Chain A
Amino acid sequence: MSTTQKPGWRQLTPGGIITTPGSAREFHTGDWRTKKPVLDEAKCTNCLFCWIWCPEPAITRGPKVVSFDYQYCKGCGICAVECPVHAIKMVEEA
């Protein structure tokens, strides 16, 4: 839990209206994760199945292999299940 002072009812917009579009970007849903996906780059064929299946999207495409955006990856594990060459393992968060 953050210790910084959050805005109170006097500062907030009525009913919680968000007046700036795209502010969901500031909500780092990666905090929810209990397990994180880890890639075995030697096995990855860059087929992009994980990129298609990721509901976030938290898979970043690369020239040879994919990588994960841990700021938004919730650790659902769909990528690990769908990877046809078993290149993704879900590892307990430290």
Chain B
Amino acid sequence: MQTTRKSQFVPMSGSEAIAKAVVQSNVDFASAYPITPQTIIVERLSDLVASGQTKTAFVNVESEHSALSACVGASLAGGRVFTATSSQGLALMHEVLYLTSGLRCPIVMAVANRALSAPISIHGDHSDMMGSRDSGWIQLYVENAQEGYDWCIQAYKIAEDERVALPFTVNMDGYVITHSVEPIALIDDVAVSDFVPPRQAKFKVDVKNPITFGTLTLPDYYMEFKKQQDDAMRHVPEVFEEVTRSFAEVSGRHYSSVVPFELDDAKVAIV
């Protein structure tokens, strides 16, 4: 990450930065169930919805399985959707993770990475997301709260790109990033809104133009759709480059898929 532009820095925890990015990104719908250490994301987002600072609809549910299910419905209806979870919550979502990617819903989910039980732990560990590694979601791991904020915004641009149309997880270490307060360089509301204008879904649930989602697929077609998902995932690197380049123009911060470290006089590099 390179900062080239002078910005106004605001002290924020990783969770608060994520909630701020969500309300700036023209998100239509959010549903999430609180779980440590993701709770503050949900709390701050609820605060911002309740105080009328965003038009995002927030739906309270009784579990993570229901949260992501509600999100899939909202996404199929053409909305831009956000959710967040952690650890056991992500495990409870497991079934719906595959529905989300298979139905090609470009939902963005913040994951506050935390160890899976047992023994019970509420602290940072990637075992939650590693267990969901092959569920067809794009995974990105951030290093600090600023990256969490920046990636929550960029994630929509990649996820919703027609070449991709896959869900996206922004992963941040539980507590270490979610709860640490850092100076965050915010982008102004108009610039973020221009960067991620309201979602225009190509296919959506619409009573005036009825179409069918989630059809039964027998073995003659099943792998064709898995191949589509694989092809979409292979388009991520090129879209990543385009999006990070245009984001740099807005924010002054440019993210690369490969960051060199001490390579100037190196004879051998390890990727």
Interface residues of A (CB under 8 A from B): 6-9, 12-21, 23
Contact = CB atoms under 8 A, between A and B. Distances in A.
A11 to B, nearest CB: 9
A15 B225 CA distance: 6
B222 to A, nearest CB: 9
8 closest A-B pairs by beta carbon, nearest first, are A18-B212, A9-B224, A9-B227, A15-B104, A21-B210, A14-B104, A9-B228, A19-B211
Pick from A7, A14, A20 the residue with the most CB of B within 10 Å: A14
A23 B210 CA distance: 11
Interface residues of B, number: 20
B221 A12 contact: yes
B227 A15 contact: no
A10 to B, nearest CB: 8
B165 interface: yes
Contacts of B221: 6, 12, 16
Contacts of A16: 214-215, 217, 221, 225
B203 interface: yes
Nearest to B165: A14
Contacts of B228: 9, 12, 14-15
B225 A9 contact: yes
Contacts of A7: 224
B141 to A, nearest CB: 26
A14 B203 contact: yes
B224 A17 contact: no
Contacts of A9: 224-225, 227-228, 231
Given A6-B221, A14-B232, 13 more contacts: A6-B220, A9-B228, A12-B221, A14-B165, A15-B102, A15-B104, A15-B225, A15-B228, A16-B214, A17-B203, A20-B211, A21-B211, A23-B212
A23 to B, nearest CB: 8
Contacts of A19: 203, 211
Contacts of B103: 15
B213 interface: yes
Contacts of B232: 14
24 contacts: A7-B224, A9-B224, A9-B225, A9-B227, A9-B228, A9-B231, A12-B221, A12-B224, A12-B228, A14-B104, A14-B228, A15-B213, A15-B225, A16-B214, A16-B217, A16-B221, A17-B203, A17-B212, A17-B215, A18-B211, A18-B215, A19-B203, A21-B210, A21-B212
A12 B225 contact: yes
A23 B221 CA distance: 17
Contacts of B227: 9
B36 to A, nearest CB: 34
Nearest to B215: A16
Given A6-B220, A9-B231, A17 B225 contact: no
B223 to A, nearest CB: 8
B203 A13 contact: yes
A38 B220 CA distance: 33
Contacts of B102: 15
A77 to B, nearest CB: 23
Contacts of B214: 16
A21 B210 CA distance: 6
Contacts of A8: 224
